Structure 1
Amino acid sequence: MTVAQPLYNLYPFLEGKTRSSDVLDQSLLDSVLQKAAESREVQKKYFERYGATLVAAARALAQVYRNGGRLLAMGNGGSSCDAAHIAIEFIHPIGVGKPSLEAINLSLDSTAITAISNDFGFDQVFARQLLANGREGDAIIGLSTSGNSKNVLGGFAQAKKMGMVTIALVGGKGGKMATSPDVDYCLIVENTSIHRVQESHLPTYHILWDLVHTILAG
């Protein structure tokens, strides 16, 4: 078996050989630059396609806050970390003079999550929390790199029943969330790499935060 040169430089053991550290370092550096370029290109295409959707979602969220509503966030795994990041951005703004805006991370409470999972199933962890924490006129952001996370879909379904604004940040082809009647705004990072999807989600909610404050200050 002959291994392609870039792959061989990174994994010479595939041919039972070794490579010098200087060659390996150069291959790793090439990999860094390639991945950074891929990430930039994915984000460029994503924001060109979904920029208007992001602005519309920001206007809807700003109106939620004007009406006394709040933002809730949900996600699994790495997306649960994004949910936490979203909540703290709104609760504790880093910009001077920007007001704190109420936000709740539904992925945070391990006691609630494990109790609901034990009694009702993991698919219900967000929907059941919304029964207690959600209100008509609130907004919720759900993150799923596949767009198919059952508990996030369940959360959106419950949120829609309660009269909440729903925003989905997803990847791939959007999964079920792309066509769900329970999702008002769906932003799809059209890429199969979970890393590229998550790298695009982060600036999405940073920009959303900034747009909301800009709209509220207008």
Structure 2
Amino acid sequence: MTAVRRAAPAGLGSLYPFLYDGAPAPDATAALVASTEAKLRDTARLRAEVLTEQAAALRRCAATLAAALHRGAHLYAFGNGGSATDAQACADLYACPPVPGPNLPATALGGDGAVLSALANDVGVEAVFARQLAALARPGDIAVGFSTSGNSPNLVAAFAQARRIGMVTVGFAGGDGGAMARAQLDHLFVVRSPSVHRIQEAQTTACHVLWELTTAGATGSAPEHRG
């Protein structure tokens, strides 16, 4: 059966030439394999860049977090959409580690749907994290925010609130860091890529390494690096 070819919608012909008239259809399997290999190479490159170029910064941040947690600090993580899942994973690493280790106080601010919807409805979306920090956090606690653009208004507002409280501020951003790069955070880790997917993958790696270094500092032992 001959596949039906159609004219390309505006702007899509160059992106998906094999779907439309006037272009030969490639081998679908070969194209998929090539695309996957390219993405894997890009992911590995970005992860290596973050861990190499920001190694010293990760260690400084880990030392700060270890000292704060040793003094009884609570870690609050937050983000929007996919970054909310990264924030939840970050909080879970500290509170419920996947390997034997200290259970440290950590909360993801996106986890309570009732609180989020109430604040978004009654105050505004930009306040959903700042208001929670105002109610829950104390001086010396830790605020960790995730954004692929670095421009999320509710993260910028949350970090402003965190500074007013006297919290340690840690950000994970993408691109050029966006507004988070201008927010005077104590620690900021930027994945310099235009791809949301690659940014989140590299942020996950950096966050996991930060957790390993932090818990090693808190317990006085070297982290066990796993493949």
Per the normalisation by structure 1, the TM-score is 0.90
Aligned match of 2:18:
12
How many residues align? The count is: 209
Once the two structures are aligned, what percentage of the paired residues are identical? 35
Q: Does the Cα contact within 8 Å between 2:151 and 2:180 map onto a contact in 1? A: yes
CA distance in 1, matches of 2:69, 2:23: 61
Aligned match of 1:155:
158
SS of corresponding position for 2:128: helix
* Residue identity in the other structure for 2:205: P
- 8-17 vs 155-164, which moves further: 8-17
Aligned match of 1:213:
215
Q: Does the Cα contact within 8 Å between 1:10 and 1:28 map onto a contact in 2? A: no
Aligned match of 1:54:
58
Offset of 1:19 from its aligned partner?
3.7
Offset of 1:93 from its aligned partner?
1.0
Computed over aligned residues only, the root mean square deviation of the Cα atoms, in angstroms, reads: 1.9
Q: What is the 5 A alignment of 1:109-148? A: 109-148=112-151
CA deviation profile, 1:57-112 (whole Å, cap 9, x unmatched): 1111101111111111000000000010011111111222x110110100111111
Offset of 1:46 from its aligned partner?
2.1
Q: Does the Cα contact within 8 Å between 1:145 and 1:194 map onto a contact in 2? A: yes
CA distance in 2, matches of 1:167, 1:155: 11
Offset of 1:15 from its aligned partner?
2.8
Q: Which runs of 5+ in 2 are unaligned?
A: 1-6, 8-12, 221-227
CA distance in 1, matches of 2:44, 2:134: 39
The 3 A distance-change label for structure 1 pair 10 and 26 is farther
Per the normalisation by structure 2, the TM-score is 0.87
Q: Does 1:43 find its partner at 2:42?
A: no
CA distance in 1, matches of 2:169, 2:15: 46
Which structure has greater helix proportion? 1
Aligned match of 1:79:
83
